[in-house]
Amino acid sequence: MSPDVSSEFLALQQALAGRYSIERELGRGGMGVVLLARDVALDRLVAIKLLPRPLAANPESRDRFLREARTAAGLSHPNIVPIHAVEQQGDLVFFVMGFVDGETLKERVARAGPLSPRAAMKVMQEVAWALAYAHQRGVIHRDIKPDNIMLERATDRTLVTDFGIAVRGRPGPGTGEVVGTARYMSPEQALGEEVDARSDLYSLGATVFFALTGRPPFEGANLPAIITQQVSKPAPPVLSLRPELPARLAETVDRCLRKDPAERVQTGDELARIAGELRGRDLRAPPLVRSFLRNAQVTTMVVLATLLGGQSVSVGNRGVSASGGLGIIGTILVFQLLFVARRLLREGYAFEDIRTALLAEAQVQREEADEMRSGKWIRRLNDVWHRVWAGRFGRWFFRVAGWRLKKPERRAIASADATELVLGRSVLAAWEALPEAERAQVRDVPDVVTRLENEAEALRARGQTGERLAVTVAALENIRLSLLKLRAGSGTLDDLTTWLERAREIGEHVDRRIAAAGEVKGLLER
């Protein structure tokens, strides 16, 4: 037998021949061996977690593994790794789950260092969504840690995995059972006391602490030393290790790490909302679009620096003369940008796609400037390149870049964002294109858009993707159409005002329904 092929591999493959084709081992731990396999019928990659044979031979361990796997299999959420099947065949006990092409949060930090504040906020928000969903169904994870958070390579989506020690409902107090990972477990979990949703949120706070600093809140030479600190010692403020972090982000992480559960953020929904407010709006633009944005910013700064400070002065028989220009570096950057623009046009992108990405990036940089308390002149300098490329010059540049290019048969998809976010950016772009006098008469368009976006996002997070979501998104669509008709001369401000009023009514109705659902949930949890 090859040393690379384990006995578990051979036994499981023989049992599953014709259904799954096992390719290789992905990893192993105390609670199982994880194998990469291919689902033959559906022709897709899956991961199979096999209970080690010594544990499988123990009826109590086997039953618990199967029970908890079936509990996790009942969860269906975009930020939870799905479980497709739970089975036992003789002494083989295993479950089949979705394969995530990516890396764990622990691997990401080890490879690339601590996350940026915005990346950490994204992880916090998406894990909080997953936990809120599980908690609403009475499932407590009990082992949230960097190893159990996956980051998908293609989309950078965050997924929670390994509900291997999850429990349905709350274990009774005084059980004395201590499970989980010491560095990330809550004080009450470390003491074997009753745990609820707030215990998972403590673990998420400790995980985000690690993501931001590269280390957990507590370290120790051995397990008892770490547990002693978890129980008795306050967690260090995250700003003490990374002082440049935004204050509100640091406060949120510190609040999750309070010893008293009553002082923490109380629900996953609440934590996701806070993280969303901190994070702001992201544009998940494809790599080619992001490449253009980076090149455009660098090129603009280099050209400005050259024009402002790159002139040379010489004195000769004919007097004093000045000369200057883009220089070699500036010229290279402009040609490189032209090349990327042509590539974008060949791929099916248009100037409006790039403009949307530019406006989204401008909003991100303004939020970062607010957090950093940047001065007025720094803000203006940062805004220059957005205004240049999102305006007439950008449109002219893409017209030049497209000279003699054949128009592609199919437009590219510029963003993987939720529909309401794409629509929202389109509405704001149409509103900003109005004459100033008309824009002033409907100045509340941005506020209405933000409200509808937030409500649609909240509905998605709760899994409510039916009629309420459709009505909310339709309200955004009608505002966009009214703006486009107004620009084309076939609509009026009165039409737009009517749709804005209807959108407000829809927003108030959705707010009431979400609040009512929250109240019902609170009553059921008492």
C-alpha 83/C-alpha 162 separation (Å) is: 10
Specify the pLDDT at position 175.
39
* Confidence class for position 328, pLDDT limits 50, 70, 90: confident
Q: How much is the average pLDDT of 465-477?
A: 78
Highest-confidence segment of 46-55, 74-83, 119-128, 504-513? 119-128
Instruction: Compute the distance between CA of residue 31 and CA of residue 65 in angstroms, rounded to an integer.
Output: 9
Q: pLDDT value at position 107?
A: 92
pLDDT above 70: residue 318: no
- Identify which has the larger pLDDT, 396 or 53: 396
As a three-state string, the secondary structure of 487-506 is HHCCCCHHHHHHHHHHHHHH
For the beta carbon of residue 80, count every other beta carbon within 10 angstroms.
Answer: 23
Q: For residue 176, what pLDDT band results from cuts at 50, 70 and 90?
A: very low
Q: What is the DSSP string of 272-296?
A: HHHHHHHH-------HHHHHHHHHH
Mean pLDDT of 77-81: 89
Which one is predicted more confidently, 81 or 169?
Answer: 81
Average pLDDT on 331-348 reads: 82
Continuous segment of H or E residues that includes residue 228: helix 223-232
- In this prediction, residue 74 has a pLDDT band, given cuts at 50, 70 and 90, of confident
Contact residues for 43 (Cβ-Cβ < 8 A; gap 6+): none
What 8-state DSSP symbol labels residue 134?
Answer: H
Helix (H) or strand (E) holding 210: helix 197-213
pLDDT at position 131: 93
The pTM assigned to this predicted structure is 0.59
Average pLDDT of span 382-406: 84
DSSP codes joined into one string, 327-374? HHHHHHHHHHHHHHHHHHHHTT--HHHHHHHHHHHHHHHHHHHHHHT-
Cα–Cα distance, 80 to 93 (Å, whole number): 22
The whole-number average pLDDT for the span 38-43 is: 80
CB atoms within 10 A of CB 118: 17
Angle 105-112/197-213 helices, nearest 10 degrees? 20
Summary mean pLDDT of the chain: 79
| CA–CA dist 428, 449 (Å, integer) | 8
Q: Shortest CA distance to 477 belongs to which of 454, 503, 495?
A: 503
Among 24-38, 154-168, 221-235, 336-350, name the one with the lowest average pLDDT: 154-168
Spatial distance between the Cα atoms of 191 and 179, rounded to a whole number of angstroms: 10
**pLDDT number for residue 256:** 96
Rounded Cα gap, residues 182 and 112, in angstroms: 25
pLDDT higher than 70, residue 166: no
SS3 509: helix
Domain 102-279: CATH superfamily, name plus number = Transferase(Phosphotransferase) domain 1 (1.10.510.10)
pLDDT level of residue 320 (50, 70, 90 thresholds) = very low
Q: How far is it, in rounded angstroms, from Cα 343 to Cα 364?
A: 25
- 456 — pLDDT class (breaks 50, 70, 90): confident
Count CA within 13 A, CB hemisphere, residue 135.
Answer: 23
Q: Please identify which of the residues 39, 43, 143, 447 carries the catalytic annotation.
A: 143
Q: On the CB side of 237, how many CA atoms lie within 13 Å of its CA?
A: 11
Instruction: Place 520 in a pLDDT band, splitting at 50, 70 and 90.
Output: low
C-beta separation of 113 from 101 below 8 A: no
d(C-alpha 399, C-alpha 141), whole Å: 54
In whole angstroms, give the CA distance from residue 462 to residue 102: 26
Tell how many helices (H) and how many strands (E) occur in the chain.
Answer: 20, 12
Q: What is the model's pLDDT at position 467?
A: 73
* Residue 101 pLDDT: 85
Integer Cα distance of 425 and 423 in angstroms: 5
Residue 216 pLDDT? 94
Task: Give the pLDDT band of residue 129 (cuts 50, 70, 90).
Answer: very high
Q: Two tokens at 439?
A: 């824009």
Q: Of the ranges 4-8, 159-163, 342-346, 394-398, which is most confident?
A: 394-398
What's the confidence (pLDDT) of residue 174?
39
Computed on alpha carbons and rounded to an integer, the radius of gyration of the chain in Å comes to: 27
Axis-axis angle for helices 117-136, 247-256 (nearest 10): 40
Nearby residues of 251 by Cβ (< 8 Å), 6 or more positions away: none
Q: In this predicted model, what pLDDT tens digit does every residue of 248-283 receive, in sequence order?
A: 999 999 999 999 999 999 999 999 989 888 876 555
Mean pLDDT on 418-424: 73
> Which pair of tokens denotes residue 443?
């100045």
| Greatest mean pLDDT among 37-51, 155-169, 206-220, 279-293 | 206-220
Q: Return the top range by mean pLDDT from 202-211, 294-303, 331-340, 465-474.
A: 202-211
Classify domain 7-98 by CATH number: 3.30.200.20
pLDDT-derived band at 514, boundaries 50, 70, 90? low
Instruction: Pick 312 or 41 by higher pLDDT.
Output: 41
Asked if 353 is an active-site residue, the reply is no
> Which residues, in sequence order, are CB contacts of 83 under 8 Å at separation 6+?
69, 72, 73, 75, 95, 96, 97, 98
- Residue 360: both structure tokens together: 């989204």
Average pLDDT for 317-321: 45
* Residue boundaries of the structural domains of the chain: 7-98, 102-279, 281-309+324-405, 418-526
Q: Tell me, letter by letter, the H, E, C secondary structure of 74-115.
A: CCCCCCECCEEEEEEECCEEEEEEECCCEEEHHHHHHHHCCC
In this predicted model, which residue has the larger pLDDT, 18 or 483?
483
Determine the Cα–Cα distance for residues 22 and 12; give it in Å rounded to an integer: 8
